Structure 1
Amino acid sequence: MSEILQNSYQWLKALHVISVVAWMAGLFYLPRLFVYHAEAVSTSGETHTLFQTMERRLLRAIMNPAMIASWIFGLLMVATPDRIDWSQGWPWVKLVAVLGMTWFHMWCARTRKTFEAGTNQKPGRYFRIMNEVPTLFLIIIVVMVIVQPI
């Protein structure tokens, strides 16, 4: 198994990056939809239904598969022998940031359900602030992987 992982490592890395890019696109866009949904849409009517459809499809058709693929390809890369030195700090910081990104994904899923139920009480400003969270995780992850400062 380790020989297969070694021989396919570059492909795993490419597929991981592609998956992460798709996941990040959704993590940036869904909270932006929440901003517009909270600020400009009543809790009923055609526009409300349209936003619900857009939010649901983005989460289920793009974000969920991209997150799952990111985790699978990432874990396969981690399982590849002699690629990561776990005695260094950067892989642990990256792991915490990836767990944070996954938490944010779950937060998006729970928030979507509040809009679906018509029970959202948060203003658009709240979602504008939350929209910055994945950017912070992205910066941490990229710096840890590329620069490996610790």
Structure 2
Amino acid sequence: MLWVKSFHIVFIASWFAGLFYLPRIFVNLAMVPPESVAERERLLLMAHKLMRFTTLLAVPAVALGLWLWLGYGIGLGAGNGWMHAKLFVVALILGYHHACGVMLRRFQQGINRRGHVWYRWFNEAPVIMLVVVVLLVVIKPF
């Protein structure tokens, strides 16, 4: 079980690295002047490759988490309300990941409707979600 936990943590950390950096690329894309086609294309390529890699990391992160939850029974039973709260936040993280994919497709189609300040705030969401998950797992408040 410790091997599974270890790999789960490694994949989660790697997945979050992508979720931290991808919106930062969106900030830069929102700031690109219309005449800078080469810069826009380079940032779009970076974002596309990062999104693909981040998605590949999310799959084993979630699969190993499910293995720990269902296979080993971590968080099951009475007094494990923290796990329900954690799973809710994980669902929000998966939604955030999906939203990043939608935003990337809009940038690729040239139909971005938001400014760089909005993406700067959007970039803070995974930090908050990660802090909440870590606190729930370590402290297990309920």
Same fold (TM over 0.5): yes
Are positions 1:99 and 2:91 aligned together? yes
Are positions 1:65 and 2:42 aligned together? no
Task: Flag the 1:123–1:86 CA change in 2: closer, same or farther, 3 A.
Answer: farther
The unaligned stretches of length 5 or more in structure 1 are 1-8
User: What CA distance in whole angstroms lies between the structure 1 residues aligned with 2:106 and 2:29?
Assistant: 11
**Cα offsets for 1:95-123 (capped at 9, x unmatched):** 00000000000000000011101110100
- Deviation of 1:43 after TM superposition, in Å, equals 7.1
Task: Flag the 1:145–1:43 CA change in 2: closer, same or farther, 3 A.
Answer: farther
TM-score by length of 1: 0.89
The RMSD of aligned alpha carbons is 1.3
The counterpart of 2:116, out of the listed 105, 121, 124, is: 124
1:85 corresponds to: 76
User: What CA distance in whole angstroms lies between the structure 1 residues aligned with 2:92 and 2:35?
Assistant: 30
Q: Is the CA contact (8 Å cut-off) linking 1:31 and 1:128 kept in structure 2?
A: yes
Structure 1 runs of 4+ with >4 Å offset: none
Q: Is the CA contact (8 Å cut-off) linking 2:32 and 2:39 kept in structure 1?
A: no
Task: Flag the 1:116–1:82 CA change in 2: closer, same or farther, 3 A.
Answer: closer
User: What CA distance in whole angstroms lies between the structure 1 residues aligned with 2:35 and 2:140?
Assistant: 47
TM-score by length of 2: 0.94
**Cα offsets for 1:17-46 (capped at 9, x unmatched):** 010011100000000000011013437611
Amino acid in structure 1 at the alignment position of 2:115:
P
Q: How many residues align?
A: 141
Percent identical: 28
Amino acid in structure 2 at the alignment position of 1:89:
G
Are positions 1:20 and 2:12 aligned together? yes
